[in-house]
Amino acid sequence: MATIFGIPLMALFGQLLIGLINGSFYALLSLGLAVIFGMLNIINFAHGALYMLGAVTAYLLLNYAGIGYWPALIIAPIVIGVLGMVIERLLLQWLYKLDHLYGLLLTFGLALILEGVARNYLGTAGLPYSLPDSLRGGHNLGFMYLPNYRAWVIAVSLVVCFGTWFAIERTRLGANLRAATENPTLVRALGINVPRMITLTYGFGVALAAFAGVMAAPIYNVSPNMGSELIIVVFAVVVIGGMGSILGAIFSGFGLGVVEGLTKVFYPEASSTVIFVVMAVVLLVRPGGLFGRRA
């Protein structure tokens, strides 16, 4: 059996695939963050908590309304997206003219409140959420056993990520949005309702986070802490990709998932820190991030 550095080649492929799966979650979440920062200039620290709320909404829908996974994939992002829009209208809109730090502090405080309330009612051991029946089981690929659900995660993330990129970079709506963030006064003068666009964009970014939450519910522990564990890594991913760049967030997300996966094979003790090491190196060499437009 061929080996690289003592690890059989087949084993390595399995780990790379798993890295891609984790990368899917990083990509989905960092996409929402990048959209919000790129379009709104808000550093949304509440992103992890909103991801968690998406998963919790899926759990509540299942246990109190009997609504399963597939409808929850649509309902939960809409519900949490609306919550996001309410947050934007009530709280965030007053901070756009101020330093980034205020938005960061506000959303951080929001995250603490949301997580604390969830923890009070749900505990921390986690809530059971089972795999949808149609996605159970898996296939033996020879080098590893790939659960169907995990393959589904990769496929959906790729579709959603590139769909979002396409919408923002290649459609008229996206063009209007990008123009509105660069020069809101001019765009307003042209008759476009800029505040409403901003609200909807924040709602969309939040809905992406909630969508990732529903996807995570069957395989990761649905617990109030699930967001805070992930959010720091996701921020590192966004910084590496470039704070305003959508494509950067997508590529960094998948890429760093693979890097983390490889670290888990060769030096697993470092697997929770390798992404930050990469971030430090990238910031030293290219402060704007790998794909960043802003200096």
Residues in contact with other proteins by CB under 8 A are 8, 11, 14-15, 18-19, 21-22, 119, 123-128, 131, 138, 144-145, 147, 149-150, 219-221, 223, 225-226, 229-230, 261, 264-265, 268-269, 271-272
Of 4, 6, 14, nearest to 142 (Cα)?
14
Judged by CB, which is closer to other proteins: 164, or 223? 223
Least distance in angstroms from the C-beta of 80 to other proteins: 20
Judged by CB, which is closer to other proteins: 129, or 202? 129
DSSP state of 130: P
1: tokens are 């059996």
- Residue partners of 159: CB distance under 8 A and separation at least 6: none
Tokens 């060769």 sit on residue? 266
Judged by CB, which is closer to other proteins: 127, or 194? 127
Least distance in angstroms from the C-beta of 170 to other proteins: 33
Least distance in angstroms from the C-beta of 61 to other proteins: 18
The DSSP secondary structure of 149-166, one letter per residue, reads: HHHHHHHHHHHHHHHHHH
Least distance in angstroms from the C-beta of 271 to other proteins: 6
Least distance in angstroms from the C-beta of 127 to other proteins: 7
**Cβ atoms of residues 41 and 294 within 8 Å:** no
Judged by CB, which is closer to other proteins: 48, or 77? 48
Judged by CB, which is closer to other proteins: 88, or 260? 260
Tokens 């950067």 sit on residue? 248
Q: CA 253, 254, 259 angle in degrees (round to 5)?
A: 95
- Residue partners of 196: CB distance under 8 A and separation at least 6: none
| 287 φ/ψ angles, rounded to the nearest 5 degrees | -60, -25
Which conformational region is residue 191 in: left (phi greater than 0), alpha (psi within -120 to 50 degrees), or beta? left
Judged by CB, which is closer to other proteins: 42, or 153? 153
Least distance in angstroms from the C-beta of 272 to other proteins: 4
